[in-house]
Chains A and B, each alone.
Chain A
Amino acid sequence: MSAPAAAAEPILTRNFGRADSHTLEAYRETGGYAAWAKAREMEPAAITDAVKRSNLRGLGGAGFPTGTKWSFIPKGHAGPVYLVINADEGEPGTFKDRYLLERDPHALIEGMLIAARAIGSRLAFVYVRGEYVVPGRRFSAAVRDAYDAGYLGRGLDIVVHRGAGAYICGEETGLISSLEGKKGWPKLKPPFPAIKGAFGAPTIVNNVETICQVPHIINRGPEWFAALGTKTQGGTRLYSMSGRVRRPGVYEASVRVPLRQLVEHYAGGVTGNGRLKAVVPGGASAAILRADEVDVTMDVDGLKNAGTMAGSAGVIVMDETVSIPEALMVVARFYAHESCGQCTPCREATGWIYKMTERIVEGRGHKEDLDTILDVARRGAGTTICAFYDGAVGPYISYIEKFRPEFEALIPHG
């Protein structure tokens, strides 16, 4: 990968180039488990405080401040507290957690040891999506090695749990339902998982990449980490680059890297006809950006201000030859397939909107269809138990509003 001059020092990816990066030996050689040695001498509250000061924000999608989340665990809680790692990677366009599980599993284990100490958890679960058989095996092997080496089993146990195929289980309360052996239906909040989560106990659910950052924060200090980012978000993160780019792949850069730089430098520029048409910056659920909107930074607040979201940092690039209506149909099919069926607006609208987009793409649309889709999409927004439907509304509305003439051109007149 040829990085631009302003490339960040690799942190999460520093060992990715080593063929044996997944082994305990390689991890230790490069300073692995030193942060745990340091953290086990720290007061739990001091660990949480360091993570707060680092401005680490969740890297799974919601971007919530991690240290603040940890601090929601009730003080002096007498019963069990659980740490749950969300390795149910599923946001279309995102593949960075797979890299971490396969190439640096001990970074996750070390981060879990530190996080578990901070929140007072003695039992942690790693929920790996069912299709990730090979990454799951790789991570399980690392867990066994960590037990043999005495890192685990002396205050923290880790159970690796395999999912069975359902996007909604990446939503933290859906994940908890699934972990409990049920269908992955999200739960109404409050109560938030930190108060009443897995098995009715206080629970922190964190994304893989988020927890992999924790050892570095402990090793090098929260100020160092915070300085890598913006005032409200620290660190680097992994960008999953795909679609019409020359070099699709995982790239590490500051959370404030400009989107244009990711596309043009990191991923090597646009393929197809070479001219950029649109970018989805944060996984399929992020609103689409036109080519004239990509001069934004990728941090949570930067993209929020641009009317979209950083989400999981899955960047999907489209050149001018891509049909936006067809792209929306593909995305709408995904939401129709993955709606869990619990809330009526989501269950009904996702299926119906998919059919409508399909009808438009096939040249059978009516001239009022676009306004009807926008109306239906807006009415359901904010009315459901979880964020899934709002995630679908972002693309429905933005694809149509920003590329309306392209949709209209497919609708027969008269």
Chain B
Amino acid sequence: MTTRRPEFTPEQLAEVRRWQGLYPDKRAALLPALHLAQDMFGYISEETEEYVAGLFELAPAHVHEVVTFYTMYFRKPKGRHVVSVCHNLSCHLAGAPDVLGHLRQRLGIEPGETTEDGRITLLAVECLCACEMAPMLQVDDRYEGHLTPERVDRLLAELR
């Protein structure tokens, strides 16, 4: 969690400027810039929205409507790891409710919440398009499938 004013490093700023140059309209680099901002600052605060808006010469409201539209931008601090359990049809048929139930019980939180120690944010999400390994989840960047309670426990043990 950070309270200081969000600001990219000079190198990151140069990278954002380069991205803006890749498109016919620099606004197109907004989603990538917001991904970078979230990686840097942990989540997208209103201050971050204002800062990014300045880099794109947009009104903060335009950035706000983008941030709130997409599921991958967090508007409040998230855990050090994000565990997203797919609960769409193929995973449901393969036991996703049990996977989610096991995680809720082990972590003591509901989907959308973060453990008190700030370690894990748990989400229930729509199809991640890996139905061949159902039931599956995404932990940070990677997909993990063929889940069983034991396998979920092993995954949790790896997350610090």
Residues of A that sit less than 8 Å from B by CB: 80, 89-95, 97-98, 123, 129-134, 159, 161-167, 178-184, 198-199, 201, 240-244, 248-250, 280, 284, 314, 316, 318, 322, 326-327, 330-331, 333-334, 337-338, 340
Q: Is B70 a contact partner of A159 (Cβ separation < 8 A)?
A: no
Chain B residues, CB < 8 A from A163: 31, 70
CB distance from A33 to the nearest CB of B (A): 24
Q: Is A93 a contact partner of B127 (Cβ separation < 8 A)?
A: yes
Q: Is A316 a contact partner of B25 (Cβ separation < 8 A)?
A: no
Chain B residues, CB < 8 A from A340: 69
Residue of A123, A164, A248 near B71 (CB, 8 A) is: A164
A248 CA to B127 CA in the complex, in Å?
A: 16
CB distance from B106 to the nearest CB of A (A): 23
CB distance from B63 to the nearest CB of A (A): 9
Residue pairs across A and B with CB atoms within 8 Å: the count is 146
Q: B148 near A: Cβ within 8 Å? A: no
The 9 closest A-B CB pairs, nearest first, are: A165-B71, A242-B131, A164-B70, A181-B30, A183-B69, A181-B27, A165-B72, A92-B127, A242-B90
A181 CA to B53 CA in the complex, in Å?
A: 12
Residue of B29, B71, B92 near A181 (CB, 8 A) is: B29
Chain B residues, CB < 8 A from A201: 24
A-B contact pairs, 29 of them (CB 8 A): A90-B127, A92-B126, A95-B129, A131-B128, A133-B142, A159-B23, A161-B28, A162-B31, A163-B70, A165-B71, A165-B72, A165-B73, A166-B69, A166-B70, A181-B25, A182-B27, A199-B23, A199-B24, A241-B132, A243-B94, A243-B131, A248-B90, A248-B134, A249-B132, A284-B88, A284-B127, A330-B87, A330-B92, A333-B87
Chain A residues, CB < 8 A from B24: 80, 123, 198-199, 201
Chain B residues, CB < 8 A from A318: 93
Residue of B28, B69, B133, B138 near A179 (CB, 8 A) is: B28
Q: Is A180 a contact partner of B28 (Cβ separation < 8 A)?
A: yes
Residue of B28, B92, B131 near A314 (CB, 8 A) is: B131
Most buried by A among B32, B69, B88, B130: B69
User: Which A residue's beta carbon lies closest to that of B65?
Assistant: A183
Q: Is A92 a contact partner of B70 (Cβ separation < 8 A)?
A: no
CB distance from A229 to the nearest CB of B (A): 25
What 0/1 pattern do residues 16 to 57 of B give for CB contact below 8 A with A? 000000111101111110110000000000000000000010
Assuming A165-B72, A241-B132, A242-B90, is B66 touching A183 (CB within 8 A)?
yes
For the side of the interface on B, what is the size category?
35 or more
Chain B residues, CB < 8 A from A243: 89-90, 93-94, 131
Q: Is A92 a contact partner of B88 (Cβ separation < 8 A)?
A: yes
Q: Is A322 a contact partner of B131 (Cβ separation < 8 A)?
A: no
Q: B11 near A: Cβ within 8 Å? A: no
Q: B117 near A: Cβ within 8 Å? A: no
Chain B residues, CB < 8 A from A133: 141-142
Chain A residues, CB < 8 A from B127: 90-94, 167, 284, 334
What 0/1 pattern do residues 123 to 155 of B give for CB contact below 8 A with A? 000111111111000100111000000000000
What 0/1 pattern do residues 97 to 134 of B give for CB contact below 8 A with A? 00000000000000000000000000000111111111
Q: Is A242 a contact partner of B71 (Cβ separation < 8 A)?
A: no
Assuming A284-B89, A327-B92, is B131 touching A240 (CB within 8 A)?
yes
Q: Is B89 a contact partner of A93 (Cβ separation < 8 A)?
A: yes
CB distance from B20 to the nearest CB of A (A): 10
Q: Is B141 a contact partner of A180 (Cβ separation < 8 A)?
A: no
Q: Is B32 a contact partner of A93 (Cβ separation < 8 A)?
A: no
Q: Is A199 a contact partner of B93 (Cβ separation < 8 A)?
A: no
A220 CA to B78 CA in the complex, in Å?
A: 52
Chain A residues, CB < 8 A from B88: 92, 284, 330-331, 334
CB distance from A3 to the nearest CB of B (A): 16
Most buried by B among A97, A132, A182: A182
Q: Is B138 a contact partner of A131 (Cβ separation < 8 A)?
A: yes
Q: Is A95 a contact partner of B130 (Cβ separation < 8 A)?
A: yes
Assuming A166-B70, A181-B25, is B89 touching A330 (CB within 8 A)?
yes
Chain B residues, CB < 8 A from A93: 89-90, 127, 131
Q: Is A162 a contact partner of B65 (Cβ separation < 8 A)?
A: no
CB distance from A291 to the nearest CB of B (A): 16
CB distance from B55 to the nearest CB of A (A): 12
Q: Is B90 a contact partner of A130 (Cβ separation < 8 A)?
A: no
Most buried by A among B66, B84, B126: B126
CB distance from A293 to the nearest CB of B (A): 18
Chain A residues, CB < 8 A from B29: 181
Chain B residues, CB < 8 A from A248: 90, 131-134
Most buried by A among B35, B131, B138, B143: B131
A133 CA to B143 CA in the complex, in Å?
A: 9
Most buried by B among A130, A131, A132: A131
A280 CA to B32 CA in the complex, in Å?
A: 35
Q: Is B129 a contact partner of A161 (Cβ separation < 8 A)?
A: no
Q: Is A242 a contact partner of B132 (Cβ separation < 8 A)?
A: yes
Chain A residues, CB < 8 A from B32: 161-162
Chain A residues, CB < 8 A from B31: 161-164, 178, 181
- Other A-B contacts than A179-B28, A330-B89, A340-B69, 20 sampled, CB-CB below 8 A, are A90-B127, A92-B127, A93-B90, A93-B127, A95-B132, A132-B129, A134-B142, A134-B143, A162-B32, A181-B31, A181-B66, A182-B27, A183-B66, A183-B69, A244-B93, A249-B132, A250-B132, A284-B127, A331-B89, A334-B88
